[in-house]
Structure 1
Amino acid sequence: MTTTPGTTATTPGTTATTAATVPAPLAGLRALVTGGASGLGRATALRLTAYGARVVVLDRAGEAPEGTAGLVRADLADDASVRTGVAEALGLLGGLDILVNNAGIGAQGAVEDNDDAEWHRVLDVNVVGLVRVTRAALPALRDSAHGAVVNIGSIAATAGLRQRALYTASKGAILSLTRAMAADLLPEGIRVNAVNPGTADTPWVGRLLASAADPAAEQAALAARQPHGRLVAADEVAEAVAHLVSPAASSTTGTALAVDGGMDGLRLRGEG
């Protein structure tokens, strides 16, 4: 028998008077989700909220997802902005138990296709921006009995993808950084993990498809390269994050959970 968190569970054949309330798995926990106004971040903020957490999102633009505790503005490329934004979020939440480093930007091209300025811009947001948010949040996470960090990586960190050199470099750095952070913070009771999505159905991917010469053909190609034959749903990534930040996963740290339809690990033989 399965139940939705926060609902009443009953055994078949019993009456409602014997029902037991199933607690939400993240009840009482406080979470900050970067890039939480859209895409994977928004889906994650909504999922953590549904599971009982009090969630604030940090983003440069957009609106707070419905049901969350609010949105604070910050630019991940500016340390002062990040520190101010994280402090505002902590003020709204009254502390912090969960940090989801989701915010990031994309890049296309082979290794020679982006100039130095673009390499610095993308790495500054995707990697150093993650560092800025984490170090601003660490004092609050250290005060938590359930401190957990999840960094959103990518299939690009573990599989070579064409025309994604700069983006891949940033996500590979996040994967290695996740393991280093996990080693450093484990003695302080803070768990650090990563989620590596495959190509997901997000507004960013939608914009890439819209700019293609044949959007339908490009979407079919992206779906076909994932063994389960479709784009990853944002809610599937959010569910993976919710599992990793839950106290129920307290023995899981320093790992990367692939949510990619088998793209990283499976090699299926084609038919015919």
Structure 2
Amino acid sequence: MEMVHRATAAVRNLTDEAFGEVIDGPAMESSLVDEMWTLWKQEFVLLGDEDERHRHFVDTCRELSKVGCVRDHDGGLVGFWSARSELRVWRGCRFEQVYVPHYVMRQDVRGRVTPYLEAVRSFMGVAVGRPGTPVYVVAGTFPGSYIAIRSGPTTITTLADDDPWATSLLRDVAATMGGPDWDSEAGLIRGHQIPKDSMRAYHPRGRHAAAFADYVRLNPTWQQGTVLPVLVQVSMDLLAWSREIAGRLAGAAARGPRNVSTT
């Protein structure tokens, strides 16, 4: 636990140097939430009832804003600190999520997966794909931890694993994949990558589930070729990693305003 606090403090200090100030517990302006929601809808295909997802989004923003917020030197919103020691970096319409030190998924600036030095503990499940793989799934096993669906080099969308929709999604995908990869107690898929096209079209109920099953059945090499071990290696050099992340964030800030992409 002490290491968690030290790592979190290190990243906070370095983020402060990169952007200007880490502000704890700011009030979340409703206009800002509305702006973020509009951008979010442009970036992600929303699954399920839109009104329900909107309420969840607003509640999440408000909850995160109670914990901490990162603003740049001009006062613009950069990201949130959550209670689970994560930095959610707001880049245009994207969140880039940094886990400290749990649920680590790192890539270098060229998109290559960086080497890890120590195995993740058995209670964690992490899927780290080869460069160019469209989507990765990262799932934590603690109650209330996050499921992260990664699409592209900077886009990560997260769902709490106690979200019924997220649980249903993982359970149905695991059933499609064939049973033993689903750990009902841990609540995770062991090392599976989900193709981007299927993820965008997939919904845990109805015809999309059947379409996803057809994709898997027609692409046996995907089943056999991209399943990765649950236990991957994770670097314990958290300070060096923190400096790397802070450097990338500072570089992004130095490049000026971030354009919103709708593609």
Query: Normalization by structure 2: what TM-score?
Result: 0.24
TM-score by length of 1: 0.23
Larger radius of gyration: 1
Instruction: Give 1 or 2: higher strand fraction.
Output: 2
